[in-house]
Amino acid sequence: MDQARSKEKFWKSKFWKKYSNYLFFILLISATAVIILTQVDPETFLRTIKQANGYFLLLGIGCVFIYWSLEAVMLLKLMRRDNPDETFHFAWTVTMIGQYYNLITPSATGGQPLQLYEMSRKNYTFGSGTAVLVQKYALYQVSVTFLAIIATILSITTLHQSLEAAKWLIAIGLIVNIAGVVLIFILAFNVNAAKTIMLGCLELLLKFRILKNATKYREKVKHFIREYQIAIEELKSHKLQTLKLFAVSISQILVLYSVNYWVYRSLGLHDSNAVTIISLQAILYVAVAFVPTPGAAGGAEAGFLLLFGPIYGLGNTAVAMIIWRLISFYFIILFGGIYLSVHSIRIGKDKARQIEQDCDDQVDKL
């Protein structure tokens, strides 16, 4: 009896570990859907969708594909340092893995481990794969923060006049992102100083019992520093390419931010320009980037209603928010899920073909 209970407990634990993120994601999406339905009348939403300009909505979806393509281009350039024969198709697959699993896991934690696994299947070592992904993330983080700072300067009057409730949220997002970028630059020029700062912050968190298990977190900090040190040295040793990749990263993020502008135009609105909307989108991104839910769900919707309410107007804001999330969140999950399912089937067929070939070889030897 005890053995049966132990087995049952084991399988329940295994099931929970495997599917808890997906269950949490479904629960979160359901809660978000309920919130959305309280913000907009279904009839009004359907009527607005029918009246929306499909051409602009297609441009918004097209921006998502351009965003993915530029991400793949960056990964390809970085991967070709170790493997000059690497293909765009593989870089695209690694991109889709990162995009999909980052959106369905809390705080975007699921993408990189699975990207590393996919790269390992192509004989990339753990060190070289990690270096590629860390370099890409460092460029992304610097780009996001740079654009957020510029956007805040451009939108400072709007933020001061209309968004009293959002000021602290925006300030915290900016401070955290700027701190992250400053740490990257310190790592680039003085590793010991970066190590001292990070261990000092860790000791403070341990002292106030915000974190426990000092040994575990000290090792994590040292491992983090080693990974970033290697990656940043790579970026420094290829200065011209790094500048080009930074320009691509800036373009990539601007393309994604512009989805909101095409949603705005699809609703027949013209009073605000692209610079204003993209600037507010850049601010929204850093303001909700650290919401610990898949795709910042909940925070992204609330932030949109708060930041873009004055831009879209009372009758359009909730509808615009739904369309924006359908394109920039749900469409990515849907397309990514389909693409990776087909990819998994293809891998299975390739493995079966390889096993069949191995068997034929064995038969021939006999």
At 266 the pLDDT is 94
Query: Each residue of 48-72: pLDDT tens digit?
Result: 777 889 999 999 999 999 999 999 9
Would 32 be classed as within a structural domain?
Answer: no
Domain of 126, in residue numbers = 41-365
Cβ-based neighbour number of residue 124 at 10 Å: 20
Would 48 be classed as within a structural domain?
Answer: yes
Would 19 be classed as within a structural domain?
Answer: no
Would 49 be classed as within a structural domain?
Answer: yes
Would 146 be classed as within a structural domain?
Answer: yes
At 1 the pLDDT is 47
Q: For residue 297, which phi and psi values (nearest 5 degrees)? A: -55, 140
Question: What pLDDT band is residue 244 in, cutting at 50, 70 and 90?
Answer: very high
Query: Each residue of 339-365: pLDDT tens digit?
Result: 888 888 887 666 656 555 554 454 455
Query: Each residue of 312-338: pLDDT tens digit?
Result: 887 788 889 889 988 998 888 889 888
Helices (H), the chain: 2-39, 42-51, 54-79, 88-104, 111-120, 126-154, 156-162, 167-189, 191-207, 214-237, 239-257, 259-266, 274-288, 299-312, 317-325, 331-365
Would 22 be classed as within a structural domain?
Answer: no
Q: In angstroms, rounded to a whole number, what is the distance separating the alpha carbons of residues 60 and 54? A: 10
Q: How close are the terminal C-alpha atoms of the chain, in Å?
A: 51
Would 91 be classed as within a structural domain?
Answer: yes
Would 199 be classed as within a structural domain?
Answer: yes
Looking at the chain, the whole-number percentage of residues with pLDDT higher than 70 is: 80
Q: Is 84 helix (H, G, I), strand (E, B) or coil?
A: coil
Question: What pLDDT band is residue 39 in, cutting at 50, 70 and 90?
Answer: low
Question: What pLDDT band is residue 127 in, cutting at 50, 70 and 90?
Answer: confident
Q: Is 106 helix (H, G, I), strand (E, B) or coil?
A: strand
Question: What pLDDT band is residue 278 in, cutting at 50, 70 and 90?
Answer: very high
Give the sign of the dihedral formed by CA 90, CA 95, CA 98, CA 99: negative
- Could you tell me if 302 and 286 are in contact, meaning their C-beta atoms sit under 8 angstroms apart? no
Q: How many domains does the chain have?
A: 1
CA angle 126, 242, 197 (to 5 degrees): 70
Q: In angstroms, rounded to a whole number, what is the distance separating the alpha carbons of residues 140 and 146? A: 10
